[in-house]
Amino acid sequence: MKHEITFLDAFKLVNELSYLQDGKVRDIKSKKNELFLMIYNGREYWLRIVPGRFFSVQFNKPDEIIKFPFTSKLKDMLANKNIKFSLHRSDRILDIQIGDYLLIAEIFSNGNIALTKDKKIIWSMFARKYGTREIKSGQEYIYPPEKIDVTKLAYADFKDAVLRSEKENIVKCLAVDLSLGGVYSEEIVFRAGINKSVKPDNTTEEELNRLYNELRRIIFEEVRPNIINKEILSVIELKHLDGEKAYFDTINEAVKSFFSEEKNAVSQSKKEEDISKAIGHYKQNVKFIEENFDKISKMISTARDSSVPIDHRKEEIEKLGFTFDKKYLISEPNKDIIIDITQPLRYQLERIYSKIKAANSQIKRKENKTQLIKAKIKKEDKWYSKYIWFFTSGGILGILGKNNDQNVSIVRKYSVQGDVVLHADIFGSPFCVLKREDKKDITEEDIKEGANMTASYSSAWKANASNIDVYYVDPSQVTLSPPPGEYLTKGSFYISGKRNYLNKVELKVYLNVYLDKDGVELNVSPTKKSEIYFLLKPGNTSRKAAISLIRKQIAEKAGYDIPVDEIDKRLPSGGLEIVESQVILK
């Protein structure tokens, strides 16, 4: 069954990915039927679009790239332009404004991506025709017939839409007329306490009110991404469905997990089937050779006897059911049996035994992998959880902004008298705020550790620097308003007064891992905090390889499978070098 995201999934995901807005398109890649836009907004993000199915954001460059003319043309037209995106009304259509161009991604039906300007299609991924619409270069892009926009639906319009519906029941009315899909429509009706078989035009005023309130709640208030029984993706808590539920921090993580598991299940099944077939094939070959060992040995001697004319040798071998070609004997009943006359027959049997052993080992490794405990990542549900956060060895909370908006937020909303504000002496540094508690003063050691984290999450890491200067000031010295006559770029601050410098602050960060019966907790800090940790510094090892090694060590020694993204999103942007590691189970 083909899985695809619903309008509600897409609507909430677009809101969640607001941190990409106003970023710059730096690169464009493609796979078969997929497009990747690399957007830089404080760090690199890859927006993955799979037409007709879903979209999501990943941090790693896509692998297995295929070069298409469509992709090259997009890159030429769109590189280094700013991006804004939104959903088109209640349709699963992404409108991606990039400079003067509009890239339109259809996430429904067979899907498509079209680059337009002034409503005209310049290029499209696929040329398609649907009744009144045609997606083709040179044609005007025509959106599908407009649907009711549930995100802007007033109660009176909602009531009118329901009472006018010709659908046989209220669930189908919400699912089709309001584009909510079956699962979310069932949930709204369930929460509203209404019989789902009731006809739309028979709903009472009170029932309509309850339905409308639940509709507004799931659209604008509630977010709890989860996957039920590995079969249903939901961006809210579904009360009408029971089953095994896996919860996620973000909708993006849930979407990626949902579609990658689906893909992996298919490919894994195919690999296992291929390995099993190969083992069966090798065993048949072994049985044939063992049963005909003397006969084949005699043919080898005949084939190698140069005193006999080649035609006579071939004739003798053919009588025994084989053909002789150059240095090979090929079985007529089984063309897969190929014997090299230059190698001892026993040696060739041993090679087939080795192939069987290797294939069985591969199956065993896969079985062991499936026995790994899929890590349930414990979430820190605190006000600071959305930022990069850590605690110093003195117990002081530090928070760092992930982007310009977060930098503004932590400085304006969360820095108060007695706190310390830090910034690396480089363009592309986060602001860090060390929070003073009532009974705890911020020590020099706390500031040094805060400086270490500030340096590590700055652009210096990606530049592979080993150290950088960091300064710290009082919150009162930081303002968004420059002196008269001066100008600040977006996301910048003006620092007044003296800056206190720490020179050559080392770039390093610890990834700490805590295991217990309730799940796995991951956090970063300037110092070692747990029995399982990895000390990381900037390096030339690829990010993907380093994270793979971290996951491998945890899997082999602790038996937990940690998702790649859970590690990736916590670490500084750039190459990683594992300087020291320890995995000890209590």
The reply to whether 125 and 45 lie within a common domain is yes
Same domain, 157 and 226: yes
Q: What was the pLDDT predicted at 289? A: 85
Q: Compute φ and ψ for 37, nearest 5 degrees.
A: -105, 120
- Do the domain assignments include residue 140? no
Listing from the earlier edge strand, what are the strands of the sheet with 328-331? Answer: 322-325, 328-331, 338-340
Per the domain annotation, does 168 fall within a domain? yes
Residue 443 forms part of a structural domain: yes
Q: Which of 303, 333, 368 is the last residue of a domain?
A: 368
pLDDT at 328: 87
Q: Are residues 25 and 115 in the same domain?
A: yes
Band (38; pLDDT cuts 50, 70, 90): very high
32 and 127 within one domain: yes
Name 473's bridge partners: 421
Q: Decide if 62 is inside a domain.
A: yes
Q: Does 256 fall in a domain?
A: no
Which distant-in-sequence residues (6+ apart) come within 8 Å of 420 by Cβ?
433, 434, 436, 442, 446, 447, 450, 472, 473, 474
Q: Are 163 and 200 in contact (CB under 8 A)?
A: yes
Confidence of residue 1 (pLDDT cuts 50, 70, 90): very low
What is the edge-to-edge ordering of all strands in the sheet holding 44-50?
24-31, 34-40, 44-50, 54-58
Residue range 463-478: average pLDDT?
A: 93
Q: What's residue 208's pLDDT?
A: 96
In the predicted structure, residue 441 carries a pLDDT above the cut 70: yes
What pLDDT digit, counting tens, does each position of 198-237 carry?
999 999 999 999 999 999 999 988 899 999 988 899 999 9
> Tens digit of pLDDT for each residue in 492-536?
788 888 999 999 999 999 999 988 777 888 999 999 888 899 999
Q: Does residue 258 lie within any of the structural domains?
A: no
Inform me whether the pLDDT recorded for 182 exceeds 60: yes
If you average pLDDT over residues 82-95, what whole number do you get?
A: 92
Task: State which residues form the domain around 64.
Answer: 7-135
* pLDDT mean over 480-491: 70
In this structure, the answer to whether residues 433 and 516 fall within a common structural domain is no
User: What percentage of the chain has pLDDT greater than the value 70?
Assistant: 94
- How many domains does the structure of the chain reveal? 5
* Domain boundary pick from 135, 167, 183: 135
Q: Same domain for 462 and 415? A: yes
Which parts of 444-499 fold into alpha helices (H)?
Answer: 444-456, 459-462
Per-residue pLDDT of 337-379, as tens digits, reads: 888 888 888 888 888 888 888 777 766 655 455 456 777 888 7
State which of 472, 506, 540 marks the end of a domain. 506
Q: Are residue 412 and residue 296 in the same domain, yes or no? A: no
CATH number of the domain enclosing 229 = 1.10.8.50
Residues 235 and 122 both lie in one domain: no
Q: What are phi and psi of 50, to 5 degrees?
A: -115, 100
pTM metric for this prediction? 0.53
Question: Over the stretch 132-171, which tens digit does the pLDDT of each residue have?
Answer: 889 999 999 999 988 899 999 999 999 999 999 999 999 9
Query: Is 374 inside any structural domain?
Result: no
320 in the same domain as 304: yes
Question: In this structure, are 64 and 177 located in the same domain?
Answer: no
Tokens of 59: 């941090």
Nearest to 472 by CA among 499, 492, 445: 499
450 has a pLDDT exceeding 90: yes
When pLDDT is averaged across residues 93-97 and rounded to a whole number, the result is 96
464 belongs to a structural domain: yes
Rounded CA separation 162/545 (Å): 54
- For 577, half-sphere exposure in the C-beta direction (CA atoms, 13 angstrom radius) is 13
**One domain for residues 162 and 130:** no
Helix (H) or strand (E) holding 113: strand 112-117
Pair 69, 162 in one domain: no
